[in-house]
A and B are shown apart, each in its own frame.
Chain A
Amino acid sequence: MKKLITLALFLCLPASIFAEAKELRIVTLNGTVSEIVFALGKGKLVVGNDTSSLYPPEAVALPKVGYQRMLSAEGILSLKPNLILGLEYAGPPEVIEQLKSAGLKVIIYPGLPGVEPALNNILAIGKEIGAEKEAQKIVQDIRKKHSKIAEKVSKLKSKPKVLFVYHRGTSLAQVSGIETPADEMIRLGGGVNAVSGFTGFKPITPEAVIAAQPDIILIPSRGLESLGGKDGVFNLPGVKDTPAGKKLRVVAIDDLVLLGFGPRLGQGIEELFESFHPKTPDKK
């Protein structure tokens, strides 16, 4: 029993280190929200975040309160935050309730994919943490990039069929159907989702890949890493027999830039457009 007490005491030590409070102490529960707070220049107010917060590098080094869907109330409380920001995926719901009942300010933003919802979230978070000007600036920047690309997209004669592959480790490979962040991004970047028969994600099958006949395979950078580079993508079942496999067209973009709908959304749209349409004459 004594050992248990000393062990428990030892484990509780970090809690006592975070002592004084007064200014904003923010815990972010989502990678995109973390990125927004850092982009608004308030990164030093963040005292903890979840394991999906992978950008910027400063965010990675902060104490982790678990994955956004598997949070623990005590863990968040131990960081003595006075503002908790998350997207609607934050949970389990009981934990969010517990945090609210402990008198903490918890704000949950919608997590819909799309330019407008993303901009709204940036503005709302900016207002909440006293960085409205910075938020306006980021929003204007995204709007500018978005409308520039949207104009180019509207002039396109043909759009490539893009297959989004989400891949982790050797066993889990899924493709994105409609109403997913990837589907929205493909549209914004001037492509067409090669699979449109279902909503959400489905495991990949060789037959389905061949039937979709994608011109381009789109994959988040981390997924590409876990496949061991572009060769891994072409070795996925069925990919070799598609136009993308024959022309060796794989586009890899950082996970959060591609799917986060955060402050780097404009950059993401630009990157996508450029890699979908490399020979467009008015490319900058």
Chain B
Amino acid sequence: MIVSSLETSSPETKTKGEEKKKKTGRKVPPILVYAVLAVGLFGIGILSLKFGSIQLSTGEILKVLISGQDSLSELEVPHSILIWNLRMPRLVLSMLVGACLASAGVCIQGLFRNPLVEPGFIGVSPGAALAASTWIVFSEKILTFFPAELKGKESFLLQLCAFAGALSVSFFLHIVSKREGGGFSLVLVLAGIAVNATVVSLLGFLSYLADDTQLRNLTFWSLGSMAVASWHKIYLLGAVLLLVTFFFPVLARGLDALALGEAEAFHTGFKVRRIRNLTIVLASLLVGVSISICGNIAFVGLIVPHILRMVLGPGHRTLLPASLFGGALLLAIADLTARTIAFPSELPIGIIAAGIGGPFFLFLILQAKRREGEFR
């Protein structure tokens, strides 16, 4: 009953809300937003390189960055190693993961035409984490005839599995939401919760099968960490992100058209099915590979698009590229916090992200409720 009432009322209220946003929301020119984000990224980059076990001055950082090495050889731990082996990989990885998750968030929200969904929230990231964990446990228990390089945590097959996991969850949710009319649907959120619950139970089952070392790897997926940063992983994730950004123009046009409604998009000449499939594949690729590298980090895909929509409006042509910068900025801040707040040990970054994201999500829900019509 609730669902059907939502279905009938939501398309109108949604377009009304968007019109309102278009009129009042888009106060800031995109170029200014990009500039602010770029300056913010640069600033947090300097701070991240600065702080840690040994505090470096900005001059020292620049010297290492420009010359590639440092002049003082009698240092216990050379600054170049501190920067190039420890801090830079973490910084770059956290930025890349943030960019991937935030843009995947934009894609998935556009796809389901629901601003309150997020890869972690509706089960896409947990799906990726489950597939990755399954791979870790089973490749070492059952595929004993495999060469060692292809097994466990170090193999590229891990990324492939995580991608497949994310993809199957997205497709499943897509089918569910299509049956419900494709629009803003409570069923989608409920199906996401159901997927999440199933995934948690399957992860529990895996942890029963896993040995002690594997178990530690599994718990890592649920909290996320940037301590595993290495250049090899950065190249991999960077390549994936680069590949996806090539599709940004197509994605942006398609998602903008989808925002009008599927029938409208179809009648204005868009190949709706192709757009949807492309979005699902690309978003799953972003989520799957990021999750397989640094564990499940939730809420980035929710917070970043939301803030950006407030300042930029809902158009995907500016929203998608801005989310790259926004996600990078948010996760770089989260990682800096994670590794300095409990020094000399560190907090899992997922705790920081969810700690910011949970309350923010609550705030969004309450706001949406105040605007009435979007939520009941």
Contacts and interface: CB of A to CB of B under 8 A. Distances in A.
For B47, B230, B343, which residue has the most chain A Cβ atoms within 10 angstroms? B343
B54 A77 contact: yes
B344 A76 contact: yes
Main secondary structure of the interface of B (DSSP, over half): loop
A95 B339 CA distance: 13
B343 A78 contact: yes
Interface string B196-233: 00000000000010011100100010000101111000
Nearest to B213: A89
Interface in A43-101: 48, 51, 63-67, 69-80, 82, 89, 91-92, 94-95, 97-98, 101
A14 interface: yes
B51 A200 contact: no
B211 A72 contact: no
A73 B86 contact: yes
Interface residues of B, number: 36
Contacts of B340: 8, 11-12
A278 interface: no
A16 B55 contact: yes
A15 B55 contact: yes
B81 interface: yes
A64 B345 CA distance: 7
Contact of B81 (A71, A101, A200): A101
B295 to A, nearest CB: 11
Given A48-B344, A75-B346, A102-B85, A92 B227 contact: yes
Contacts of A65: 344-345
B92 to A, nearest CB: 14
B102 interface: no
Contact of A72 (B54, B81, B85, B344): B344
B76 interface: yes
B212 A77 contact: no
Interface string B323-365: 0000000000000100111011110100000000000000000
Interface string B223-261: 001011110000000000000000000000000000000
A15 B53 contact: yes
Given A4-B47, A72-B227, A102 B344 contact: no
B355 to A, nearest CB: 16
A69 B367 CA distance: 41
Contact of B346 (A4, A8, A66, A82): A66
A273 B47 CA distance: 58
A38 interface: no
B148 to A, nearest CB: 14
A4 B341 CA distance: 11
A12 B51 contact: yes
Given A12-B55, A51-B345, A74-B339, 18 more contacts: A8-B47, A11-B51, A11-B341, A11-B343, A14-B344, A15-B53, A15-B54, A64-B345, A70-B346, A77-B52, A77-B53, A78-B53, A78-B343, A92-B220, A94-B230, A95-B227, A104-B77, A200-B211
9 closest A-B pairs by beta carbon, nearest first, are A66-B345, A75-B344, A78-B53, A77-B53, A72-B346, A74-B52, A74-B53, A94-B228, A8-B51
21 contacts: A1-B43, A8-B340, A11-B341, A11-B343, A12-B51, A12-B52, A12-B55, A48-B344, A64-B345, A66-B344, A71-B345, A72-B227, A74-B346, A75-B345, A77-B52, A77-B53, A92-B220, A94-B227, A94-B230, A103-B81, A202-B208
